[in-house]
Every structure is written in structure tokens, then in C-alpha cells.
């Protein structure tokens, strides 16, 4: 690299200088972090994924730093505490949406000089700790490990601020989000129009009330959750055996965790690109795509029981606008569940590639099962199943 000062000296020729090399602050941090690391297209089983010592998380604590193909501004931290173990006290500017895989424990949260608050949790608990508040996680069992994972926005913050100190040594307290009130973790939830629950702590995701989701198909139910003091949005969806959901298109940011069932996802970016297939089961974690751009993706149930997935997301909320263009849009119906014929991002059954349905029916035949979408898809060779209105299922007005 050539340097020069101002004056009468002729400046150097820029075409003869080396090109600037772009730095990825998150990649540098990840490579230097002392932790077991995983990548790839998806994680087949979060319960059995290998973990290793992770000094940042505490003595005796193990974990895995996950950055899958398609992850960009989010990553995933899998943490395992030994029986009777605890994490080191931590505080950071990134926010994590946390799901408890197995074990029972508690979390203590505080601001420096303030009173500490503690709440307990077990398998299936889902919560968001206050951003940049100090916290510590404890394993309540003396015989069983505690395993949980968090989807965080650390990559986005590292690339925006290019500073580890900003993330881990920032004294700012978000008291407008968390003022140390006891109600923050009391599991109370407010229901809004559009199947939207606003809360910060769900003790058992399996018991969250859900409602019929007519527009997405598959004989499914759904509920959205606005969490983290309203700063992020997540949702949980079910669909029945012998059915699949309608395809829809968006980027790879959504993390889908399977809480029950057996099936697969099909993902395709461009019509001329290879279609990807990932088989899932309880414990699988996958993204809504595997790289840059908008991905068409679709979820299929080929098991004998109901399938349920939890979508862990960040940077999206119905409560706060992300830009001026969406500030005045409806918070009830989103473009992801509106037909592409009406300007949305969803593909109706009659408009999908017939090959999609053929793949589904072939997978069912391998398992001795029958497609039940005769009254939904023009390509179905099976039988008629659920009608649009499911018996004994609560509904809410989506418009």
C-alpha cells in the first residue's frame, strides 16, 4: 500500500495499488471464539448435536456455536449445563429468543445495583431475556443436564458496530423495555387481532392456545408471539398428517424448530436452481432457505401424528415499524400469507408445480399413508380430509 502527503508531489496511481480487502467482524469473532462450531444446511437433531467446552458461558458449561448456510444477521447458540451447573454471569447488547430442549432450571436477571428477579422453566419453555440486562442460568437438577438454544442477532450487531466491546461492555440499560418489574416474567399474555399473543415468557409452548390458520392450508392452527418487549415476532404452527402447507417466499432468516412430528421441507431459490429437501423430526432446526435471496419453501407432514414447528425470528415485529414503507401497513394480515395473485408471497395449491404434490404422495406411499388433500389440491389422488372449517377449533377474524 502506498501512502503520500499533500503538496507538490504527484499522487500515486490508484490502479497500481492493491484492492482493499473486506473484513467480516462476525466471522473474525466466530473463528476466534473458543467453542465447538457447526454449520451446514440444517441441524437434524438438536438433542444429540455434539457440544464442547465454551469458556465464555462458564466453567463446566458446554455448547455449540451454530451458523448454518443461509444464516446472515442471526446465529444460534446451543448451551448445555451439567447437573447442578450454572452459566457465568453475562450481559450483552444482542438479544436471544431461547427455547428449552430438556431439563429444568431457572434464570436470574438484574441491572447493576438493582434487585434480582428469578423465574423457573422446564422443557418446552420459550422466553426472551431483556436486552443488555445481566443474567445467569442455573440447572435445577443434580442428576440431569439442562440443554437450551437461543437464536440471536449477534452477527448483525457485530457487523454494524465492528466492536466486541460495544456488544459485551456496554453499560446502557433499556429501562423503557425492562424496568425490573416483576410482571416481566409472569407468563401473562395479551391477545391481539390476527392470532397474536404479546408476552415475554411462555412456560410451555405446547400449551399455548392456537387458532385455525385458513389462509396457509394444511388443516393447520397457528399463533404469533410478539416478544422481547415487543421488539421481535415469532410464531408456532401445526398441521395434520397427510397434509402440507402452502409454499411461500421470503429470505433465509426464519429459524424453524420442530417440536413434534415427522416430515420434510422443500426449498428452492430460482426456478432454474436445484430444489433442496431436508427431512425433519422432533428436534430438527432448519432455515427458510440456504443462502442469499428469496426462497420458495414448503413444509410437509409425512408422519402419523400432528406436526408442529416453532419459528424463532428477530428484527421483525408488529409493534414497531422496521421502515417508513411498512409503518402504516396492517398488523393483522401479512404478505407471507397472501396469495401471489393478490400481491403477496404465497403460492396457492392450484398454482404450484404438480411435481411438488407428486413428491409428497410418494413419500406417504413409502410409509403406507394416504394423502388427505382431495378437497384442497387439484393434484391429489388420495382422499378428502379436513374441510376449511375444522370442528371444535377456535377461530379469529384474520381481516
Dist. CA 360–CA 381, nearest whole Å: 11
Secondary structure class of 294 (helix, strand, coil)? coil
Q: Per residue in 60-82, pLDDT tens? A: 999 999 999 999 999 999 999 99
Percent share of the chain, pLDDT over 70: 93
Quote the pLDDT of residue 250.
Answer: 87
Higher-confidence position of 29 and 177: 29
Dist. CA 298–CA 243, nearest whole Å: 11
Dist. CA 298–CA 303, nearest whole Å: 16
Residue 250, beta-bridge partner list: 295
Residue entry with cell 440443554: 147
**Does residue 159 contact residue 27 with C-beta atoms inside 8 Å?**
no
Quote the pLDDT of residue 315.
Answer: 67
Residue entry with cell 409503518: 327
**Does residue 124 contact residue 206 with C-beta atoms inside 8 Å?**
yes
The reported pTM is 0.92
Secondary structure class of 274 (helix, strand, coil)? coil
Please state, as a whole number, how many other Cβ atoms lie within 10 Å of the Cβ of residue 330.
12
- Cα distances from 39 to residues 36, 43, 65, 72, 282, in angstroms, run 11, 8, 9, 12, 19
Q: Per residue in 301-352, pLDDT tens? A: 999 999 999 999 766 788 888 889 888 888 886 666 777 887 788 999 999 9
pLDDT-wise least confident of 30-34, 89-93, 111-115, 258-262: 111-115
Q: Per residue in 236-252, pLDDT tens? A: 999 999 999 999 998 99
Backbone phi and psi for residue 77, each to the nearest 5 degrees, phi listed first = -115, 115
Topology agreement, domain 27-172 and domain 190-324+331-366:
yes
Quote the pLDDT of residue 78.
Answer: 98
Q: Per residue in 248-283, pLDDT tens? A: 998 998 999 999 999 999 999 998 999 999 999 999
Q: Per residue in 137-194, pLDDT tens? A: 999 999 999 999 999 999 999 999 999 999 999 999 999 989 887 788 988 899 999 9
* pLDDT band for position 124 (cuts 50, 70, 90): very high
Report H helices in the chain: 25-32, 154-161, 164-168, 354-366
CATH number given to 190-324+331-366: 2.60.120.10
Dist. CA 309–CA 222, nearest whole Å: 10
> How confident is the prediction for the chain on average, in pLDDT?
91
- Residue 254 grid cell: 426464519
Residue 134, beta-bridge partner list: 110
Residue entry with cell 405446547: 206
The domain limits of the chain are 27-172, 190-324+331-366
Q: Per residue in 183-240, pLDDT tens? A: 889 888 999 999 999 999 999 999 999 998 888 888 889 999 999 998 998 999 999 9
Secondary structure class of 324 (helix, strand, coil)? coil
∠ CA 49-78-249, rounded to 5°: 90
Quote the pLDDT of residue 395.
Answer: 41
Dist. CA 368–CA 363, nearest whole Å: 9
Dist. CA 270–CA 295, nearest whole Å: 8
Dist. CA 329–CA 321, nearest whole Å: 9
Question: CATH for 27-172, among 2.60.120.10, 3.50.50.60, 2.40.50.100, 3.30.559.10?
Answer: 2.60.120.10
Q: Per residue in 376-390, pLDDT tens? A: 999 999 998 875 444
Amino acid at each position: 500500500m502506498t501512502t503520500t502527503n499533500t503538496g507538490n508531489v504527484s499522487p500515486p496511481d490508484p490502479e497500481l495499488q492493491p484492492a482493499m480487502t473486506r473484513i467480516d467482524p462476525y466471522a473474525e469473532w466466530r473463528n476466534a471464539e473458543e467453542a465447538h462450531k457447526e454449520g451446514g444446511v440444517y441441524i437434524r437433531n438438536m438433542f444429540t448435536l455434539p457440544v464442547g467446552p465454551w469458556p465464555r458461558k462458564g466453567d463446566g458449561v458446554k455448547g455449540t456455536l451454530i451458523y448454518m448456510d443461509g444464516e446472515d444477521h442471526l446465529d444460534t447458540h446451543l448451551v448445555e449445563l451439567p447437573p447442578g451447573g450454572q452459566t457465568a454471569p453475562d450481559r450483552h447488547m444482542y438479544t436471544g429468543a431461547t427455547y428449552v430442549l430438556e431439563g429444568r432450571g431457572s434464570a436470574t436477571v438484574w441491572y447493576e445495583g438493582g434487585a434480582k428477579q428469578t423465574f423457573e422453566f422446564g422443557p418446552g419453555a420459550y422466553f426472551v431475556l431483556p436486552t443488555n440486562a445481566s443474567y445467569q442460568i442455573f440447572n435445577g437438577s443434580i442428576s440431569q443436564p439442562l440443554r437450551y438454544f437461543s437464536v440471536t442477532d449477534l452477527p448483525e450487531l457485530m457487523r454494524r458496530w465492528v466492536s466486541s466491546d460495544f456488544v459485551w461492555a456496554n453499560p446502557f440499560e433499556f429501562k423503557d423495555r425492562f424496568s425490573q418489574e416483576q410482571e416481566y416474567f409472569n407468563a401473562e399474555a395479551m391477545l391481539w387481532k390476527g392470532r397474536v399473543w404479546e408476552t415475554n415468557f411462555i412456560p410451555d409452548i405446547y400449551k399455548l392456545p392456537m387458532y385455525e390458520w385458513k389462509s396457509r392450508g394444511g388443516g393447520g392452527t397457528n399463533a404469533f408471539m410478539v416478544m422481547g418487549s415487543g421488539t421481535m415476532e415469532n410464531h408456532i404452527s401445526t398441521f395434520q398428517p397427510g397434509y402440507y402447507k402452502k409454499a411461500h417466499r421470503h429470505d433465509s432468516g426464519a429459524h424453524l424448530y420442530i417440536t413434534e412430528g415427522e416430515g420434510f421441507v422443500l426449498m428452492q431459490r430460482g426456478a432454474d436452481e436445484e430444489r433442496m429437501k431436508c427431512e425433519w423430526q422432533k428436534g430438527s432446526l432448519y432455515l427458510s432457505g440456504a443462502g442469499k435471496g428469496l426462497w420458495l419453501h414448503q413444509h410437509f407432514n409425512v408422519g402419523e401424528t400432528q406436526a408442529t414447528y416453532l419459528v424463532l425470528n428477530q428484527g421483525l415485529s408488529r409493534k414497531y415499524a422496521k421502515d417508513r414503507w411498512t409503518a402504516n401497513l396492517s398488523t393483522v394480515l401479512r404478505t407471507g400469507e397472501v396469495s401471489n395473485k393478490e400481491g403477496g408471497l404465497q403460492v396457492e395449491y392450484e398454482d404450484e408445480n404438480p411435481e411438488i404434490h407428486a413428491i409428497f404422495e410418494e413419500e406417504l406411499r413409502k410409509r403406507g399413508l394416504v394423502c388427505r388433500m382431495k378437497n384442497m389440491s387439484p393434484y391429489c389422488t388420495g382422499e378428502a380430509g379436513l374441510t376449511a372449517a375444522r370442528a371444535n377449533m377456535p377461530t379469529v377474524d384474520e381481516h
